[in-house]
Structure 1
Amino acid sequence: MKAQPQGQGRPLIFGEVLFDTFPDGARVLGGAPFNVAWHLQGFGEAPLFVSAVGADRQGEEVLDLMRAWGLDTRGVQVHEAHPTGKVAVTLRDGQPSYDIVSHQAYDYISLSGVEEAIRGVRVSLLYHGSLAVRHDTSRQTLARLRAQLAIPRCVDVNLRAPWWRRETVLDDVAGAYCVKLNDGELMELTAPGEGAEDDLRAAAAALLEQSGMQVLIVTRGEQGAMVLTADETLRGDPVVVEEVVDTVGAGDAFSAVVLLGMQRGWEWPDILRRALAFAARICRVRGATLEDRGLYTAFLEAWTEDGRGRGR
């Protein structure tokens, strides 16, 4: 089973870029779409990242880091009235709590700015999450963009309280080519259950059929992941990580390799195995992104050799 499409253009990545801020003053740059775009650039896919930052020091830092990595910044709007995205992380009884601050720049991505950014750019697929469309402006922009672009759409579900409603998320995933979510999110969107594999498989099959998507990916943490289509179910075994530094961004790393595989027309069993391997590697470093270009090259070379050995 081969993924579609096969790379006729650049991936269009739509959504948030933000800083996680901590009580000690530390900041970590992220946002699922930003992380995905970062990895795709590392793999040489030249994505077009569409977002917004504030006219502030943090926004300029985002743009500087993008330029240094080689990411195209034309799709990042700069807003005077709204600040660069922020998530305030606090510790309560040793457990982290997240306040995803509202009315940030990425909540106000304008259609006119996006249309200007993509003019003359051939795009192959549209990727977006669910957080960046929590407010009307960005939601309406994405809706218009979906209507204008006749390209496959990939949705990365991120259920972040209080910024989601079941009916809205189900509307977002309807008709998508590919949807990725974790096992907990799957059960929240479908029906309560114990999380046993039979429950997950039934819930996934129901969501796949009801939403009209072609491919559903369910990540399961230490239990690996599943890929479902109307015809088959694939299971990927987890990659053992001996020294886990943190798991921040592992899901975004997984998503990036899924998009990479779609761009390059890989078979789904290969996509699943390679996505799990790259996600495991991200767990060995602090944060959600890497600045080691050699690591991306090493993965690509290994996957190329793997494909040759398997006749792909």
Structure 2
Amino acid sequence: MTASANAPVLALLGEALVDRLPSGPVAAGAPLNAARHLHALGCEPLLVSRINPADEAGAQVLAAVVGAGLRPDGLQFDAQHPTGTVDVVMTGSAHRFVIQPNVAWDFIDADLALRAVDAAPPALVYFGSLAQRHPVGREAIRRVAGRPGALRYLDLNLREGVGDQLALDTLAMADWVKVNDEELDTVLRWSGAADVAALMVSYRLQRLIVTRGPEGYASFGPQGALLAEGPGVPVPHLVDTVGAGDAFSACLLAAHLQGKAWAPALALANRFAAALCGQAGASPSDPASFYPPWQAALAALPSRPEGAP
């Protein structure tokens, strides 16, 4: 199953880079990870990022984009800054990131990004906080996300270099927000909000999705009302959790864009993310065998009621 010409279009803005894993380098970055899953699940994502095609990492990212069947028209080329790289330091199945500064995706050009997005106006714009650490990239993401007409989905992804003001300013740009439980605690502390309800009212959020790792997930609507929650999914052969949150977002957004009901979509996204934790890194080693069961499961989800968001 691949995206069709009339599949929903969504734009994903931010970092495309190479993760240097103990097992070797792989093309990654939250927007690229999510875009690959979305395409495999039947959507038509537009990745807006920036690389240096003359360096080894840039060539690897470009090959990954083309190899995944993604549209290349959102990629920008930069001859002055290196393609982004991240050293992924593993401790058992846990990990931490060492992210290089002043790389190509820090300098996403706003005019080029708007031109790419306006060529096929998206139903949804996905973005994070990390690619806004530099003023140039920040302007590009905020100009694209500020366009009217698209649902704005923030996968916060707090990383080194993202401080309280940047995170809170980014939160104010979003309609829907996904955070993990640690990020939620951090945002509540930074914002001074007493609880989820106060945070959602303060930032006028329509939905808040909280992933809790082995403890499952929860989703909240306006005024902090609990919409759905579910338990964690055991991973019999846990390899690592790199990219699990990106997989969750991708599956949830694919279901939403294809008109599926919210609670079953969340449950499927949770299982999809858990399945990825049995793989090394943020993408499956054998896409041809990994994706078909999830494509079938997504197609079998019930449709959301008419008029439901």
Q: Work out whether the TM-score is over 0.5.
A: yes
Q: Which runs of 5+ in 1 are unaligned?
A: 1-6, 193-199
Provide closer, same or farther for how the CA distance between residues 105 and 263 of structure 1 changes in structure 2, counting only shifts above 3 A: same
Out of 15, 25, 36, which is 1:38 matched to? 36
**Does 2:273 correspond to 1:279?**
yes
Q: Which residue pairs with 1:258 in the alignment?
A: 252
Shift of 1:210: 1.1
Deviation at 1:69, TM superposition (A): 1.5
User: Residue by residue, what CA displacement relative to the aligned partner does 1:168-195 show, whole Å, maximum 9, x if unpaired?
Assistant: 2111111522100011111111139xxx
Distance 2:239 2:181 in 1: 22
CA distance in 1, matches of 2:301, 2:105: 39
Match of 1:166 in 2: 164
C-alpha contact 1:8 1:124 (8 A) present in aligned 2: no
> Residue 158 of structure 2 contacts residue 183 of structure 2 at CA under 8 Å; is this kept in 1?
yes
Q: Is the 8 Å Cα contact of residues 248 and 287 (structure 1) preserved in structure 2?
A: yes
Partner AA of 2:136 in structure 1: T
Q: How much has 1:83 moved relative to structure 2?
A: 0.6
Deviations 1:263-289 (A, max 9, x none): 012222112101101001101111111
Matched with 1:176 is 174
Pairs within 5 Å for 1:1-312: 9-21=8-20, 26-55=24-53, 56-90=55-89, 97-161=96-160, 163-191=161-189, 203-230=195-222, 232-233=225-226, 234-290=228-284, 291-307=286-302
Instruction: Give 1:94 deviation, angstroms.
Output: 11
Q: Which has the higher contact order (CA 8 A, sep 6+)?
A: 1
Number of residue pairs matched? 295
1:190-242 deviation digits (Å, cap 9, x = unpaired): 139xxxxxxx9x62222111110100011111110100012631211111211
Offset at residue 93 of structure 1 (A): 12
Identity of aligned residues (%): 34
1:195: which partner in 2?
none
Decide whether aligned partners of structure 1 residues 176 and 304 sit closer, same or farther in structure 2, where only a CA change above 3 A counts. same
Q: Distance in 1 between matches of 2:173 and 2:159?
A: 22
Contact kept, 8 Å, 2:93 with 2:238, in 1: the verdict is no
Query: Taking structure 1 as the reference length, what is the TM-score of the superposition?
Result: 0.86
Q: Distance in 2 between matches of 1:96 and 1:298?
A: 28
Indicate the SS of the match to 2:247. Answer: helix
Q: 1: distance between equivalents of 2:95 and 2:293?
A: 34
Q: Aligned equivalents of 1:175 and 1:148: distance in 2?
A: 11
Distance verdict in 2 for CA 1:96–1:264, change over 3 Å? closer
Q: 1:43 to 1:26 in 2, by over 3 A?
A: same
Provide closer, same or farther for how the CA distance between residues 219 and 95 of structure 1 changes in structure 2, counting only shifts above 3 A.
Answer: closer
CA distance in 1, matches of 2:255, 2:301: 14
Change (3 A) 1:25 1:191: closer
Alpha-carbon distance, 1:90 to partner:
4.9
TM-score (norm 2): 0.87
Structure 2 CA distance for aligned equivalents of residues 93 and 259 of structure 1: 30
1:302 partner amino acid: A
